[in-house]
Amino acid sequence: MILVFGSLNIDLVAKVPIIPGPGRTVLAPSYQTHFGGKGANQAVAAARIAGPGQVRMAGRVGRDGFGNSAIENLRANEVDTGLVVGADEPTGCAFITVDQAGENAITVASGANMAANAGDLPARLFGPDTVLVLQMEVPFAQALEAARRTTLAAGTVVWNLAPVPERMTREMVTKLLAVTDHLLVNEHEALDAAGAIDLATSSYEAAAADLARAGDLTCIVTAGAQGALAVTADGSRFRAAAPRITPVDTTGAGDTFVGAFAAMLSEGVSLQIALDVSCEAAALKCLKAGAQTGMPMRSAIGSLA
């Protein structure tokens, strides 16, 4: 069973000629509303590959229209929403601009996500078959508690260190590594995490190896067009190539990778196959607009044919 403990947002997306810098305004002809939040994104991505009844989402939404819509959307994607709790704060909202090359800039108003609580997770959910998926858009202490409970139950913890906190301390990273089985990061996040625990390195590959060794875990680095690299605690390396595509919208590609990877872990496939499937799923997502709407179904992934 895949358990995602994380954020749920509504995304407001505008396509612009260029992403504006400080003090600058650009005009967009219109905007679109999409469902988002790294937690919800990863839950949908996992469910589309793992299938009905395999994914549960836990988190908080506001008691408002956005919150109701977010829950309905997860149910439509066959994600169990019994652990999504209403909060007094408004539902989280992300403001996304996408330029002509498909690159994006995102501002997130956390809202109810900051009320997410590991106490909402009943003990019966934790066991050897549990694959817990975490990110960094809910309170770190609560995510850490969920990870600890999973580890004590001999489950598997997948932690996506994104977005990197502005003040990420050595203590925070040390605690995270201690309860994580698979750390998923991009190139920049890998370097940030390594730097936080004083592992000086100039390449994401070296950072991945250092983090894997320091945490006795597997570190997976996504590198866009360069594909993905996984380094195990013993130093073994696995690589997966990224399919060549012309991206339409990269929003949600990283979350698609995480969700697909969790789905593969739950099926017990090899690390190499998990990387291959996850890279293909992320590339397919980039061909369509929207964080969740572009996420591929299992039938579209050639690696699983």
Residues 23 and 19: their CA atoms lie apart, in Å, by: 12
Catalytic-role residue among 181, 210, 255, 276: 255
Torsion of CA 172, 119, 260, 98, to 10 degrees: -70
Tokens 């690159």, located at residue: 103
Handedness of CA 207, 209, 215, 221 (dihedral sign): positive
Residue 37 annotated as lining a ligand binding site: yes
Q: Is 99 a catalytic residue?
A: no
Residue 285 annotated as lining a ligand binding site: yes
Where are the strands (E) in the chain, listed by range? 2-5, 9-15, 32-36, 55-62, 80-87, 92-98, 104-109, 131-134, 156-160, 182-186, 218-222, 228-231, 237-240
Say how many Å lie between the first and final Cα of the chain, rounded.
Answer: 22
Residue 288 annotated as lining a ligand binding site: yes
Residue 259 annotated as lining a ligand binding site: no
Residue 129 annotated as lining a ligand binding site: no
Residue 77 annotated as lining a ligand binding site: no
Residue 255 annotated as lining a ligand binding site: yes
Residue 120 annotated as lining a ligand binding site: no
Amino acid at 31: Y
Residue 39 annotated as lining a ligand binding site: yes
Residue 99 annotated as lining a ligand binding site: no
Amino acid at 296: P
**Any bridge partners for residue 160, and if so which?**
184
Residue 187 annotated as lining a ligand binding site: no
Residue 290 annotated as lining a ligand binding site: yes
Of 121, 70, 111, the closest CA to residue 90 belongs to 111
Of 274, 224, 277, the closest CA to residue 250 belongs to 224
Of 253, 262, 252, the closest CA to residue 56 belongs to 262
Where are the strands (E) in 40-171, listed by range? 55-62, 80-87, 92-98, 104-109, 131-134, 156-160
Residue 234 annotated as lining a ligand binding site: no
Residue 175 annotated as lining a ligand binding site: no
- Output the known binding site for substrate: 9-11, 37-41, 137, 255
Mind telling me the catalytic residues?
255
- Output the known binding site for K(+): 249, 251, 285, 288, 290
- Output the known binding site: 9-11, 37-41, 137, 186, 222-227, 249, 251, 254-255, 285, 288, 290
- Output the known binding site for ATP: 186, 222-227, 254-255
